[in-house]
């Protein structure tokens, strides 16, 4: 799954689903309640318990205070985003969204029959030279909205029947997301949150998401600091933080659990974008997963890389993946005993 690039899917979806309605102030929520799977509703999502115990409000307070001296991600910019200052991600404390719609191009356990309720956030702390969504993530295409409006998007996606709320590139807006979540819970939100990230995350931010996120969907790129620095805006520490992040995510949610209908309800779903010429150190990454997580950890080895944005400035990145490179990765994962591959 995930064989269609997000950018091309996004372009098509804007036409097909009328996602711009979700950004329009004229939009009114459908009154129809979703037909939720009873089993999912009983057990998950876990954020309901945090709200019941009053813990969610404490988390919101802590997270919003981070905006004043921002270290939400390992960039550690220390800017005051509440005063309009921006760091590497170029985001202020006002959340900016590019689009929201039921996505049918994600992994099967997320999509089911009714789609994954995807919200694409603008801006990003990574700055990858090959980014397929660079207009959104690097150029900041999107619309600034209130946290209340973000809550409305969540409710709307649920009312459209989506199986989850899929937060794409959420890291720099975690305070807004959790605040919006609380508002949405109070309006009846009851489907799991999918945290679909780089995952260039600090352990501190992830710990504040413990019990809030049920499904982590980290898209892991580099295992070599030099490659991370060269192709993703000087992120030498990317491999270091990714390893810690994956372990923390697994500690929180464990391996992927699905409902009787095969829909993801909780767990870690790892993605790895294979780059040409082994620039993502795919061999090292597979070894890391095999040695640190159960063999039935969900792993999607993604073959859809194609040169975009500034990738043509780097000859080693300026071609698609060869079939032999993909097969080699799959064979290696199998050799290590990983038995839950998305192929």
Q: According to the binding rule CB under 6 A, does residue 237 interact with ligand SF4? A: no
Nearest position to ligand SF4, beta carbon: 87
Q: According to the binding rule CB under 6 A, does residue 96 interact with ligand SF4? A: no
Extract the tokens encoding 265.
Answer: 């309800």
Q: Which is nearer to ligand SF4, 70 or 338 (CB)?
A: 70
Residue in this structure with the two tokens 């649920």, named with its chain if needed: 158
Q: Which is nearer to ligand SF4, 59 or 163 (CB)?
A: 59
The CA distance from 105 to 99, in Å, is 15
Rule CB under 6 A: choose which of 22, 56, 63, 79 binds ligand SF4.
79
Answer for the pair 272, 284: CB distance below 8 angstroms, yes or no: no
Answer for the pair 71, 80: CB distance below 8 angstroms, yes or no: no
Among the candidate windows 28-36, 86-94, 178-186, 311-319, which touches ligand SF4 by CB under 6 A? 86-94
Answer for the pair 110, 156: CB distance below 8 angstroms, yes or no: no
Q: Which is nearer to ligand SF4, 75 or 227 (CB)?
A: 75
Rule CB under 6 A: choose which of 75, 149, 250, 271 binds ligand SF4.
75
Q: According to the binding rule CB under 6 A, does residue 246 interact with ligand SF4? A: no
Among the candidate windows 31-39, 66-74, 188-196, 234-242, which touches ligand SF4 by CB under 6 A? 66-74
Least CB distance from residue 82 to ligand SF4, whole Å? 12
Q: According to the binding rule CB under 6 A, does residue 175 interact with ligand SF4? A: no
Among the candidate windows 33-41, 83-91, 268-276, 327-335, which touches ligand SF4 by CB under 6 A? 83-91
Extract the tokens encoding 163.
Answer: 């199986």
**Burial label, 246 (beta-carbon count in 10 A; 0-12, 13-18, 19+):** buried
Least CB distance from residue 90 to ligand SF4, whole Å? 8
Least CB distance from residue 131 to ligand SF4, whole Å? 15
Rule CB under 6 A: choose which of 127, 149, 163, 172 binds ligand SF4.
172
- Give the long-range contacts of residues 103-108, CB within 8 A, separation 24 or more: 103/9, 103/13, 103/166, 105/1, 105/2, 105/3, 105/4, 105/6, 105/9, 106/1, 106/2, 106/166, 107/1, 107/2, 107/217, 107/264, 107/269, 107/300, 107/342, 108/1, 108/262, 108/342
Residues contributing to the site for ligand SF4 (CB under 6 A): 70-73, 75-77, 79, 87-89, 91, 125, 172
């Amino acid at each position: 799954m995930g064989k269609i690039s997000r950018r091309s899917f996004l372009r098509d979806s804007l036409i097909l689903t009328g996602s711009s309605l979700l950004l329009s102030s004229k939009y009114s929520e459908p009154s129809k309640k979703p037909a939720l799977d009873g089993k999912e509703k009983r057990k998950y999502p876990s954020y309901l318990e945090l709200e019941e115990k009053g813990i969610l409000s404490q988390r919101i307070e802590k997270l919003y205070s981070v905006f004043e001296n921002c270290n939400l991600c390992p960039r550690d910019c220390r800017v005051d985003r509440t005063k309009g200052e921006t760091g590497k991600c170029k985001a202020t404390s006002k959340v900016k969204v590019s689009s929201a719609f039921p996505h049918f191009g994600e992994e099967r356990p997320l999509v089911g029959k009714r789609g994954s309720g995807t919200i694409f956030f603008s801006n990003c702390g990574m700055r990858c030279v090959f980014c397929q969504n660079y207009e959104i993530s690097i150029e900041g295409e999107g619309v600034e909205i209130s946290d209340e409006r973000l809550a409305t998007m969540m409710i709307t996606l649920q009312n459209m029947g989506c199986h989850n709320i899929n937060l794409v590139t959420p890291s720099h807006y975690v305070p807004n997301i959790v605040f919006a979540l609380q508002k949405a819970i109070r309006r009846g939100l009851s489907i799991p949150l999918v945290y679909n990230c780089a995952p260039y995350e600090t352990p501190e931010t992830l710990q504040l998401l413990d019990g809030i996120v049920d499904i982590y969907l980290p898209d892991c790129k580099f295992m070599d600091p030099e490659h991370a620095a060269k192709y993703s805006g000087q992120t030498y520490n990317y491999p270091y933080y990714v390893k810690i992040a994956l372990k923390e995510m697994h500690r929180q949610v464990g391996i992927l659990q699905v409902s009787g209908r095969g829909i993801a309800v909780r767990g870690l779903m790892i993605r790895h974008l294979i780059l040409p010429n082994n620039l993502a150190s795919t061999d090292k990454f597979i070894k890391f997963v095999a040695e640190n997580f159960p063999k039935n950890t969900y792993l999607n080895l993604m073959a859809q890389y194609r040169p975009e944005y500034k990738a043509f400035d780097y000859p080693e990145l300026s071609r698609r993946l060869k079939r032999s490179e993909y097969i080699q990765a799959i064979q290696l994962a199998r050799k290590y005993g990983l038995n839950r591959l998305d192929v």
